Homo-oligomer: A and B are copies of this chain.
Amino acid sequence: MSTRDKADSVVEPRKERRKSDEWRTALTCIEPNKILVRGYPLDEVMGRLTFGEAIYLLLLGEVPSPGIGRLMEAMLVSFIDHGTTPPSTLAARNTATTGAALRACVAAGLLGFGKYHGGDIESCMQFLDNGLDFVRKGASYRKAAEQLLERPLEANEAPPGFGHRFHTRDPRAARLFQMALELELEAEHIQMIRAVELVLNDKLVDGKHLPVNIDGAIAAVCGDLGIPPSIANALFIISRVPGIAAHAEEERVRQKPMRQIDPKDHTYDGPSERRLPERRK
């Protein structure tokens, strides 16, 4: 009878080492003066792969093709920050105002990444896979979308990957799909989510419009790139860490310690809208 996961699971202390105790890791090999990340010497990777490409390598085990690398960068950039109002960012700022070290502020911020916040991706990937089941059995994308949307529409709920409290058109999602198309990486998951978007918005009344959001776009792209849901989930975390860190730093530098942070009572005083210089690809 399996009891391995009970209470304070304690393995009886054993002093002698048995070969069967040995565990294995396939990520990084450390030897004197050598660091191999999935087999590649880290000092070679430095300067030849970008951080985004190295992240792909580390998480998925192989160097991405240039096209996949570009989509990877775009996905990581897309979630880098969303201002001061996400509760995770506020948790980080509230930690920063106590004088805590940056790592503690970032850790506090990350703990809010779950069910309601960045956690839509795994359920969206499942949702799209359900739809693709219908497609593989012979349904058109439209028919599959209608099947998928039966229950959410009945419950008057947005399906996973759709809707945004603030944006009626998520510019990040649109851009990601555009890039996937240009890089010829668009495949069945993206087609599935587009079909759902069409059917969904046909059925909405009163001029309502539910856009695909960035969770949905990343879910679809990851599906088409063969990136599993758990790794897609990791991308959200990796992407948002710079944003959380930037907010914690700004709190530390610009504000008095131990202040009461009102999430609604702020204004933006950064640069006005500007365009990237032309020379950049």
Contact = CB atoms under 8 A, between A and B. Distances in A.
Copies in the complex: 4
A227 to B, nearest CB: 12
- By size class, the interface of chain A is 35 or more
A195 interface: no
A164 to B, nearest CB: 5
12 contacts: A1-B158, A12-B32, A27-B270, A28-B83, A42-B80, A55-B242, A58-B81, A87-B95, A87-B258, A102-B237, A103-B113, A261-B263
A165 B11 contact: yes
A261 B255 CA distance: 19
Given A230-B253, A238-B241, 17 more contacts: A1-B157, A3-B162, A7-B214, A9-B164, A13-B85, A22-B265, A22-B267, A23-B254, A23-B262, A27-B247, A40-B273, A40-B275, A47-B70, A49-B77, A52-B52, A61-B270, A98-B116
A277 B66 CA distance: 12
Contact of A270 (B29, B101, B108, B238): B29
